[in-house]
């Protein structure tokens, strides 16, 4: 399973390095989302700071949808989905490999977006630990659930519009917990609040969807 | 193993439509079977069913000793398919595509270079992104994948399409070598002049069933086992 995961992740990341779709299209899109929100909130820094954590995670979610769509678009061309099924790769390995490749891309996007939050909203990160754990757990959770729903939507003709419809409601806990954890880390949340319960929620979310993905990706791939 | 492929009253559905309507087919190890028939007759469906990509909803289907109704995916690593699509990633170059396919199927990577040389993908072409290749060159890459993987069952769907005369001759040589090494070949084709010289047996399909069958054993090496059921729709 792990060998297959490394093989699939390496293939997806090599394709991204060549095509640079995430770097040249998804990343600018996510930055533009942040900038537009900044314009919409006006020149006053207080509401921008208050909204910074939530807007960071909204931009991450939008970018994650695009990254998942791109990941499964690779398998929609020239019969590559059948090629992947015929290869005999362990479905759990395919799931982990695709989730790992999406995670790497999301981490790059989150670094850029964190810079955007500091630049556009004037935010100061007070707890780097909370930010890092929230990003790591949120990324793993988004990649896992995105890979699952990406596979589910892959066999449907209207997959481009179906995927956001399916995915965004399911990842609401990541948006909620990530926002609260970041509010604590940026010092913009309710006084005395702790990031720990929100970080635990994100870790549980990631663990559950990674486990579910390993178990059901095979049947999902066959049914899609 | 008496038969490489054994389908008995096999039915496969796409939606509610029976693309295989109770087909009986037996193919011996080392045999080259050509499937012919009009568009929509069920040739590609037979190949996809044998690859475990199309579910058998009733009847029996055993391929290389694997019961496809119990576990269709078990056979896949032993099967190589050259379909209408080449199943290649446009952004990866030729070597990367072949290496990924061979490693994914747990094949021997030392087969890759000889296979690429054999199909004429040498020099700068090896490092060219597949998306920049012509249709014929993409077909050669897909053929190199099959050659390097060395599957026990070759499923070829219109394999001569987009190939020039040299590549067609090469394909014939490669098929004969694979059969000599013990592989079984199912070949769907609309080009009898290209496919029949390779065949031990020819079956004609219509409406998801076999409607005619003839042996060409007198023209080619005798298959190890031939089942001569003839079904008329």
pLDDT single digits (tens) A124-146: 888 888 899 999 999 999 999 99
Eight-state DSSP code of residue A195 = S
* Residue corresponding to tokens 């190589």: B80
| DSSP H or E stretch at residue B7 | strand B5-14
pLDDT band at B1 (very low <50, low <70, confident <90, very high): low
Q: What confidence tens digit (pLDDT) does each residue in B86-120 have?
A: 889 999 999 999 999 999 888 888 889 999 998 88
Tell me, what's the pLDDT at A204?
Answer: 94
Counting every residue, how long is chain A?
224
β-pairing, B5-14 vs B56-63, is antiparallel
B61-67 contacts at long range (C-beta below 8 A, 24 or more positions apart): B61/B6, B61/B7, B61/B8, B61/B10, B62/B3, B62/B5, B62/B6, B63/B4, B63/B5, B63/B6, B63/B153, B64/B1, B64/B4, B64/B5, B64/B152, B64/B153, B65/B1
Nearest to A188, CA basis, from A127, A137, A132, A147: A127
A interface with B, Cβ–Cβ below 8 Å? 4, 7, 11, 14-15, 18-19, 74, 77-80, 82-89, 218, 222
pLDDT band at B71 (very low <50, low <70, confident <90, very high): confident
Contact across the interface for A87 and B104, Cβ inside 8 Å: yes
Query: Mind listing the domains of chain B with CATH numbers?
Result: 5-215 (3.40.50.300)
Q: Which residues in chain A have Cβ-Cβ distances shorter than 8 Å to B103?
A: 7
Interior angle at CA B74, CA B70 and CA B75, nearest 5: 110
Which range among A190-194, B38-42, B125-129 shows the weakest confidence by mean pLDDT? A190-194
Q: How many domains does chain A have?
A: 1
Q: How far apart are CA B16 and CA B14, in angstroms?
A: 6
pLDDT band at B84 (very low <50, low <70, confident <90, very high): confident
Q: Is A10's pLDDT higher than 90?
A: yes
Q: How far is B112 from chain A (nearest CA, A)?
A: 16
Q: Is A182's pLDDT higher than 70?
A: yes
pLDDT band at B47 (very low <50, low <70, confident <90, very high): very high
Strand-pair partners of B27: B5, B226
Q: Is A160's pLDDT higher than 80?
A: no
**Exposed/middle/buried for residue A204 (C-beta within 10 Å: 0-12, 13-18, 19+):** middle
Eight-state DSSP code of residue A24 = I
Interface probe with B: pick from A87, A90, A220, most Cβ of B within 10 Å: A87
Interface probe with B: pick from A86, A94, A220, most Cβ of B within 10 Å: A86
Tell me, what's the pLDDT at B197?
Answer: 84
Nearest to B135, CA basis, from B160, B101, B169: B160
pLDDT band at B34 (very low <50, low <70, confident <90, very high): very high
Q: Which residues in chain A have Cβ-Cβ distances shorter than 8 Å to B90?
A: 77-78
Contact across the interface for B76 and A83, Cβ inside 8 Å: no
Q: How far apart are CA A23 and CA A42, in angstroms?
A: 28
Q: How far is A10 from chain B (nearest CA, A)?
A: 9
Q: Is B8's pLDDT higher than 80?
A: yes
Q: Which residues in chain B have Cβ-Cβ distances shorter than 8 Å to A89?
A: 104
Q: Is B224's pLDDT higher than 90?
A: no
Whole-number average pLDDT of chain A:
88
Tell me, what's the pLDDT at B228?
Answer: 37
Contact across the interface for A82 and B76, Cβ inside 8 Å: no
Contact across the interface for A4 and B73, Cβ inside 8 Å: no
Tell me, what's the pLDDT at A11?
Answer: 93
Q: Between A14, A83, A88, which is nearest B77 by CB?
A: A88
Q: Between A7, A15, A83, which is nearest B87 by CB?
A: A83
pLDDT greater at residue A189 or residue B168: B168
Helix, coil or strand: residue B217 = coil
Tell me, what's the pLDDT at B122?
Answer: 85
Q: What number is the average pLDDT over the span A59-82?
A: 87
| DSSP H or E stretch at residue B149 | helix B135-149
Counting every residue, how long is chain B?
233
- Percentage of chain B lying above the pLDDT 70 cut: 92
pLDDT band at A191 (very low <50, low <70, confident <90, very high): low
Q: Is B161's pLDDT higher than 90?
A: no
Burial B41-65 (b: 16+ CB within 10 A, else e): bbbbbbbbbbbbbbbbeebebbbbe
Enclosing domain of residue A130: 2-223
pLDDT band at B217 (very low <50, low <70, confident <90, very high): low
Q: Is B225's pLDDT higher than 50?
A: no
Contact across the interface for A14 and B79, Cβ inside 8 Å: no
């Amino acid at each position: 399973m792990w060998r297959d995961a490394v093989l699939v992740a390496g293939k997806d990341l090599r394709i991204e390095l060549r095509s640079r779709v995430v770097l040249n299209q998804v990343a600018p899109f996510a930055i533009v989302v942040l900038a537009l929100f900044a314009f919409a909130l006006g020149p006053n820094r207080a509401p921008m700071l208050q909204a910074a954590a939530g807007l960071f995670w909204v931009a991450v979610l939008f970018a994650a949808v695009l990254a998942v769509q791109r990941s499964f678009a690779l398998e929609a061309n020239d019969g590559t989905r059948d090629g992947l099924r015929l290869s005999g790769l362990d479905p759990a390995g395919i799931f982990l490999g695709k989730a790992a490749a999406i995670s790497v891309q999301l981490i790059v996007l989150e670094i850029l977006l964190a810079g955007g939050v500091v630049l556009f909203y004037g935010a100061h990160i007070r707890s780097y630990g909370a930010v890092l754990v929230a990003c790591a757990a949120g990324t793993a959770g988004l990649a896992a659930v995105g890979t699952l729903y990406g596979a589910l939507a892959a066999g449907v003709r209207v997959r481009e519009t179906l995927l956001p419809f399916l995915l965004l409601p399911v990842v609401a806990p990541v948006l909620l917990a990530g926002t609260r954890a970041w509010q604590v880390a940026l010092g913009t949340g309710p006084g005395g609040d702790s990031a720990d319960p929100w970080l635990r929620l994100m870790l549980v979310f990631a663990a559950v969807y990674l486990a579910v993905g390993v178990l059901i990706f095979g049947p999902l791939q066959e049914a899609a | 193993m008496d038969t490489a492929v054994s389908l008995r009253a096999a039915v496969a559905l796409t939606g509610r439509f029976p693309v295989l309507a109770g087909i009986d087919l037996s193919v011996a190890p080392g045999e080259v079977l050509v499937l012919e028939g009009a568009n929509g007759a069920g040739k590609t469906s037979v190949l996809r069913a044998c690859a475990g990509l199309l579910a058998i909803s009733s009847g029996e289907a055993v391929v290389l000793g694997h019961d496809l109704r119990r576990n269709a995916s078990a056979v896949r690593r032993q099967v190589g398919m050259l379909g209408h699509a080449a199943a290649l990633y446009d952004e990866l170059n030729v070597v990367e595509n072949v290496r990924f396919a061979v490693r994914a199927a747990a094949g021997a990577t030392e087969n890759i270079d000889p296979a690429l040389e054999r199909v004429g993908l040498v020099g700068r072409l090896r490092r060219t992104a597949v998306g920049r290749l012509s249709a014929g060159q993409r077909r050669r890459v897909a053929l190199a994948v099959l050659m390097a993987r060395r599957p026990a069952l070759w499923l070829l769907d219109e394999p001569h399409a987009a190939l020039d005369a040299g590549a067609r001759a090469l394909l014939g040589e490669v098929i004969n070598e694979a059969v000599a090494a013990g592989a079984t070949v199912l070949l769907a084709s609309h080009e009898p002049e290209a496919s029949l010289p390779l065949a031990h047996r020819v079956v004609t399909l219509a409406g998801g069933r076999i409607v005619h069958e003839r042996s060409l054993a007198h023209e080619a090496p005798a298959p190890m086992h031939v089942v001569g059921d003839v079904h008329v729709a």
